[in-house]
Structure 1
Amino acid sequence: MDGLMAISREFLSWDRPILHSAAEWLIARGAESTEDLPLVDLSQCLVVVPGGLAGRRLLEILVQRVEGTGRSLIPPEVITVGYLPEHLYDAKLPFASELTQQFAWGDTLRSFSAEVLKPLIPFPPEPSDFGSWRDYGDTIRRVYRELVSESLDFSEVAQTAHSLDDFTEQPRWDVLAKLQEAYLHKLDTLEMWDKQSARLYAVKHGECHCDAHIVLLGTVDLNRVTRQMLDQVSEKQGQVTSLVGAPADWQTHFDSHGCLLADAWAEEQIDIDWHDVAIVDGPTQQADHTAGAIASVARDYTAKQIIIGLPDDSLLGEIRRIFQQHGLNCRYGPGTPVVSTLPFRLLESVVELAQSRQYHALASAMRHPDLFATLHLDQLGIASLDAWFNRRMPNEVDSSISDEKLLDAIQRLTELTAPFARETHPLPEWSNQVRDLLLIVYGEQWVDLDTSANYTLARPLQAINDAMAQWNEIPASLLQPCTASEMMRILRNQLSSAMVPAEHEPDAIEALGWLELPLMDAPVCVVTSFNDGLIPSANSADLFLPNTLRKLLGLEDDSLRYARDAYQVQVIQHTREKATWIVPKRSADGDPLAPSRLLFTGSTEDLPQRVQKFFGTPEDPINAAKSIGEDTRDHRQQIEIPVPESLKIERYPSWEKFSATAINLYLKCPYRFFLRYVMQLRGDDDIATELHGGAFGNLAHDTLQAFGTSDIKNSSDEKVIFDFLSSKLSEIAGGSYGSSPLATIKLQIEQLRLRMRAFATAQSRHRQEGWVIHKCEIDVADPTRTLDVDGTPVILEGRIDRIDHNPQTGEWAVWDYKTGDSVSDPEKDHQKGPRGDKKWIGVQLPFYRHLVQSVGVRGEVSLGYITLAKLGEEVRFRAAGWTDEDLDQADATIVQAIRDIREGKFFPSANVPYEDEFSRICQDSVLGKWEPAT
Structure 2
Amino acid sequence: MDRRVFLGWDQPLLGRVVDWLWERRGEMPGMTVVVPTAQAGRRLREALAEKGPCLAPRVVTPGALLLTEEAAPPSAEVLASVEALEGVSDWSRYSAVFPMPPGQDEERGWALPLANSLMTLERSLQEAGLTLDSAARRLSKSLESDRWSELADLCRLKDAILSEWGMVGRSKALERRVTETVEGRVVMAGVPDLPDAAVRRLDGADFVCLIGAPDGESFDDYGRPVTEAWKERLMDLPENGSVGLTADPRQQAERAVALVASAATPSDQLALGSADDETAEELVRAFGRSGWTIHNPAGGAVSRVRGWLSLWRAWLGRPDVATAIDLLGMPESRALTGGMLMQRVRALSEMRDRWLVVSSADVARVEERDRARQREDEEPMAPLGSETMERLGAVRGAFIRQPFGEAMRRLLERVDPKGEWREVHDWLADMEPVIAKVRRDAAFWLDLLVAGLSEGVKDAPDGRVADVQGWLELLHEPGEHLVVCGMNEGRVPAAPVTDAWLSEGVRELLGLTTDARRAARDSYVLYALMASRQDAGRVDLLLAKSSADGDALLPSRLLLSAKGEELARRVKLLFDEVEPPDAGMKWERDWEWKVPVVEMRPRLSVTALRDYLACPLRFYLKHGVAMYGREPERVEWNARDFGNVVHIVLERWGLDEEAREFSKSEALEEWLHAELVRVVGELHGDSPPLAVRIQAEGARQRLSWFARLQACERADGWQVESVEKKFEREVDGVVLVGKVDRIDRHKDGRRRVVDYKTYNKLKDVEKDHRVGVTASTVLPPHLEGVEAVLGTNAKGKPVRWTNLQVPLYSVEFGPVDAMGYIVIGASEGQVGISLWEDFSDADRDSALACAEWVIGKVKQGVFWPPAERVEYDDFDLLGSGRVLGDMVEEVAR
TM-score (norm. length: structure 2):
0.79
Deviation at 1:46, TM superposition (A): 2.4
Distance 1:687 1:303, change over 3 A: farther
2:165/2:434 contact within 8 Å kept = no
Equivalent AA in structure 2 for residue 104 of structure 1: A
- 1:800-811 superposed matches below 5 A: 800-801=740-741
1:215 pairs with one of 187, 190, 199: 187
Matched residue, 1:225: 197
What is the total number of aligned residue pairs between the two structures? 839
2-side partners of 1:390 and 1:481: how far apart? 40
Equivalent AA in structure 2 for residue 172 of structure 1: R
Deviation at 1:805, TM superposition (A): 7.6
Matched residue, 1:64: 50
SS at the partner of 1:214? strand
Question: Is it true that 1:390 corresponds to 2:353 in the alignment?
Answer: yes
SS at the partner of 1:50? coil
Instruction: For residues 545-600 of structure 1, give each alpha carbon's deviation from its aligned partner in whole angstroms, at most 9, with x where no partner exists.
Output: 23454355553344444444555555555557566556556655x44342444455
Deviation at 1:490, TM superposition (A): 1.1
Deviation at 1:282, TM superposition (A): 6.4
- 1:152-231 superposed matches below 5 A: 154=132, 171-184=146-159, 192-201=167-176, 207-230=179-202
Distance 1:155 1:706, change over 3 A: same
Q: Which runs of 5+ in 1 are unaligned?
A: 31-38, 446-456, 624-633
Instruction: For residues 468-522 of structure 1, give each alpha carbon's deviation from its aligned partner in whole angstroms, at most 9, with x where no partner exists.
Output: 232146596xx41222222211111111x34346256343543455554443334
SS at the partner of 2:59? strand
2:551 pairs with one of 579, 592, 604: 592
Equivalent AA in structure 2 for residue 616 of structure 1: V
2-side partners of 1:272 and 1:693: how far apart? 63
2-side partners of 1:286 and 1:831: how far apart? 54
Equivalent AA in structure 2 for residue 227 of structure 1: V
Matched residue, 1:626: none
Deviation at 1:359, TM superposition (A): 1.1
1-side partners of 2:254 and 2:151: how far apart? 51
Matched residue, 2:32: 46
Distance 1:364 1:795, change over 3 A: closer
2-side partners of 1:51 and 1:668: how far apart? 62
2:400 pairs with one of 421, 428, 438: 421
Equivalent AA in structure 2 for residue 51 of structure 1: T
Instruction: For residues 800-820 of structure 1, give each alpha carbon's deviation from its aligned partner in whole angstroms, at most 9, with x where no partner exists.
Output: 446678879979674551356
1-side partners of 2:561 and 2:316: how far apart? 57
SS at the partner of 2:568? coil
Matched residue, 1:331: 295
Matched residue, 1:453: none
Distance 1:325 1:102, change over 3 A: same
1:908/1:932 contact within 8 Å kept = no
2:31/2:58 contact within 8 Å kept = yes
2:272/2:469 contact within 8 Å kept = yes
1:530/1:582 contact within 8 Å kept = yes
Distance 1:328 1:104, change over 3 A: same
2-side partners of 1:851 and 1:55: how far apart? 79
Deviation at 1:641, TM superposition (A): 1.4
Distance 1:191 1:413, change over 3 A: closer
Matched residue, 1:448: none
2:322 pairs with one of 357, 360, 367: 360
1:546 pairs with one of 494, 503, 509: 503
Equivalent AA in structure 1 for residue 494 of structure 2: S
Deviation at 1:644, TM superposition (A): 1.9
Distance 1:390 1:287, change over 3 A: farther
Deviation at 1:350, TM superposition (A): 4.1
1-side partners of 2:462 and 2:613: how far apart? 51
Deviation at 1:771, TM superposition (A): 8.5
Fraction of identical pairs, as percent: 21
Instruction: For residues 325-381 of structure 1, give each alpha carbon's deviation from its aligned partner in whole angstroms, at most 9, with x where no partner exists.
Output: 6655443424755xx343443444445434533112322333322333671326544
Distance 1:421 1:185, change over 3 A: closer
2:70 pairs with one of 76, 94, 103: 94
Instruction: For residues 730-772 of structure 1, give each alpha carbon's deviation from its aligned partner in whole angstroms, at most 9, with x where no partner exists.
Output: 211221233455x3xx413422322431452365257548595
Deviation at 1:81, TM superposition (A): 0.6
1-side partners of 2:245 and 2:574: how far apart? 13
Deviation at 1:849, TM superposition (A): 2.2
1-side partners of 2:95 and 2:849: how far apart? 80
Matched residue, 1:465: 425
Matched residue, 2:758: 818
Distance 1:592 1:472, change over 3 A: same
Matched residue, 2:607: 661
2:639 pairs with one of 686, 690, 693: 693
Question: Is it true that 1:245 corresponds to 2:245 in the alignment?
Answer: no
Question: Is it true that 1:490 corresponds to 2:444 in the alignment?
Answer: no
Matched residue, 1:26: 21
Question: Is it true that 1:754 corresponds to 2:698 in the alignment?
Answer: yes
2-side partners of 1:708 and 1:303: how far apart? 81
Distance 1:54 1:118, change over 3 A: same
2:864/2:890 contact within 8 Å kept = no
Deviation at 1:82, TM superposition (A): 0.8
Matched residue, 2:807: 849
2-side partners of 1:385 and 1:896: how far apart? 40
2-side partners of 1:217 and 1:827: how far apart? 85
TM-score (norm. length: structure 1):
0.76
Matched residue, 2:788: none
Say which is worse superposed, 384-393 or 832-841, in terms of deviation: 832-841
SS at the partner of 1:907? coil
2-side partners of 1:135 and 1:217: how far apart? 38
2:6/2:214 contact within 8 Å kept = no
Give the RMSD, CA atoms, in angstroms. Answer: 4.7
Q: Which runs of 5+ in 2 are unaligned?
A: 372-381, 781-799
- 1:616-765 superposed matches below 5 A: 616-619=578-581, 640-644=590-594, 651-654=599-602, 658-681=604-627, 686-710=632-656, 711-712=658-659, 720-739=667-686, 743=689, 746-761=690-705, 764=708
Equivalent AA in structure 1 for residue 398 of structure 2: P
Question: Is it true that 1:73 corresponds to 2:19 in the alignment?
Answer: no
Matched residue, 1:449: none
Deviation at 1:669, TM superposition (A): 3.4
1-side partners of 2:214 and 2:764: how far apart? 76
1-side partners of 2:663 and 2:779: how far apart? 37
Distance 1:344 1:712, change over 3 A: same
Matched residue, 1:149: 127
Distance 1:118 1:708, change over 3 A: farther
SS at the partner of 1:95? coil
1:258 pairs with one of 223, 229, 235: 223
Distance 1:799 1:188, change over 3 A: closer
Distance 1:369 1:186, change over 3 A: closer
SS at the partner of 1:781? strand
1:286/1:584 contact within 8 Å kept = yes
Distance 1:83 1:919, change over 3 A: same
Equivalent AA in structure 1 for residue 222 of structure 2: H
2-side partners of 1:392 and 1:379: how far apart? 20
Equivalent AA in structure 2 for residue 760 of structure 1: S
Distance 1:359 1:753, change over 3 A: same
Question: Is it true that 1:109 corresponds to 2:76 in the alignment?
Answer: no
SS at the partner of 1:243? strand
Distance 1:466 1:288, change over 3 A: farther
Deviation at 1:160, TM superposition (A): 6.9
2:7/2:212 contact within 8 Å kept = yes
2-side partners of 1:326 and 1:302: how far apart? 13
1:279 pairs with one of 240, 243, 246: 246
SS at the partner of 2:29? coil
Matched residue, 1:440: 414
2-side partners of 1:287 and 1:718: how far apart? 71
